[in-house]
Amino acid sequence: MSKPQASVTVVINSIAQAKKAQGIRVYNLSAGEPKLKTPEIVRKAAIKFVEAGDIPYPSPAGENVLRKAAVDRMARLYKTDYTTEECIITTGGKFGIYLLLEYLCGQNSPIKQNPNDEVSVMIPAPYWVSYPAIAKIMGGKPVIMKSTAKDGWKLTPEILRSSYNSSCKILFLNNGCNPTGIIYSRNELKALMDLAHELGLTVISDEVYSSLVYTDDEYVSCGSFTEYKDDIIVVQSASKSFAMTGWRVGFVMARKDIIEVLSALSTQSTTGVSLIVQHGAIGAFEHADEITTDVRVAMKRRRDVMMAAVKEFFNLDLPMPKATLYLWISLEDLNVHGVTDDEFCIRALEEANVATVPGSGFGQAGYVRLSFGAEEDDLHGGIAALAKFAKQFN
Ligand code: PMP
């Protein structure tokens, strides 16, 4: 197995943190998180649990109250029909994906004909950096499916069909998408689910940004295509929706037999998610509509601040990202030439103290991801500093 790759976003974020620790003012436009305090109600719920003092090992699939709250909310908002037994709480959505690929790419995978078969994992690009990295760690083979700005950065049935080969068993979808900020319509998803079914693919639908949609577009969960429920897995998270990134609470919703295996795998790794953070998350679900609205309103305002700064300092009118926390922009649009995205981002951090993430890490060279999850001060100042720095490449 090749050496596991550290995620590019995490690497850039840590260089930025190290600069900050030395007292240098860094404009951090790299973080994949809403920079907000976790709501007081959530903190209080966790503290109350800690103060009661009874903190045993968690049960492997998580607290039933939390599992139920998660599936009930999905059912109410997106018309899914998962039951409590069809949900496991994981250490963030990321570890949910890790466990899923450990199982689905492993020796006992239910989607392999023979234990030694290779599992190819179909990944639309630009992609969240961790999909191919985790697939490789688990012995899977990433099959990258490129989309273009012309396709609106969306996977189409044509691209899916032409990328497919008989070793392909898993399809990742990321709706809203990190890094492009796009969301899929019901018709687009239906066409992809129909084709995935025809090709016998298990779909892992990463929906961790579902509550960060800023337009009137309907958010459609793949879990709402209940006719294909057996082959659709939904990954959710408390991280972005409740401003709880550091708490590490995620959810996998899938067939009961898959959840049972994931629970068994978690007993041999993390032993489940700390009850302290689970109780914080239970508090979050009790006030979920209120919290998600607050986070969304704050992030929408920051998106608008970033877009206004891009207009002011780069003289650019770009389409607004519909969802997530990211502006996905080409070096060409920034009028930057003669430098790769990696070089541009590293030098912007070293020379202008602006942290951004190069598109290459997401499978698309020549692009940069700017996060508007940052504090408002960072957004305006960061774009100003980036524009000044970028001038030398005009
Ligand atoms: N999926 C996507 C697309 C993400 O951007 C992230 C976080 N950056 C995750 C999953 C994982 O989130 P968490 O582990 O915090 O739930």
Q: Is the pLDDT of residue 1 over 70?
A: no
Output the pLDDT for position 49: 98
Mutate to test the pocket of ligand 1, among 98, 99, 130 (most ligand atoms within 8 A of CB): 130
> Is the CB of residue 328 less than 8 Å from the CB of residue 179?
yes
Ligand 1 atom nearest to CA at 324:
5
Mean pLDDT of all residues in 246-260: 98
Could you read off the pLDDT of 36-73 as tens digits, one per residue?
Answer: 999 999 999 999 999 999 999 999 999 999 999 999 99
* Any atom of ligand 1 within 6 Å of the Cβ of 9: no
The response to whether residue 239 sits with its C-beta less than 6 Å from ligand 1 reads yes
Tell whether ligand 1 has an atom less than 6 A from the beta carbon of residue 240.
no
Pocket lining: 92 vs ligand 1, CB cutoff 6 Å:
yes
Q: Are strands 168-174 and 202-206 parallel, antiparallel or unpaired?
A: parallel
Cα–Cα distances in Å, from 97 out to 8, 64, 172? 18, 21, 10
Question: What spacing in Å lies between the alpha carbon of 93 and ligand 1's midpoint?
Answer: 6
The 10s digit of each residue's pLDDT in 311-350 is 999 999 999 999 999 999 999 999 999 999 998 998 999 8
Task: Give 146-189 pLDDT, tens digit per residue.
Answer: 999 998 999 999 999 999 999 999 999 999 999 999 999 999 99
Give the burial string for 259-287 (b: 16+ CB within 10 Å, else e). Answer: bebbbebbeeebebbbbebbbbbbbbbee
For residue 200, the model assigns a pLDDT of: 97
- Tell me phi and psi for residue 218, to 5 degrees: -70, 135
Q: Mean pLDDT, to the nearest integer, of 239-253?
A: 98
- Asked whether the predicted pLDDT for residue 115 surpasses 90, the reply is no
Label residue 12 by pLDDT band (50, 70, 90).
confident
The 10s digit of each residue's pLDDT in 260-301 is 999 999 999 999 999 999 999 999 999 999 999 999 999 999
> Going edge to edge, which strands form the sheet with 367-371?
326-330, 367-371, 357-358
Does 272 contact ligand 1 (Cβ within 6 A)?
Answer: no
What is the pLDDT, as a whole number, of residue 101?
A: 98
Of ligand 1's atoms, which has the minimum distance to the CA of residue 91? 14
% of residues, the chain, pLDDT over 90? 90
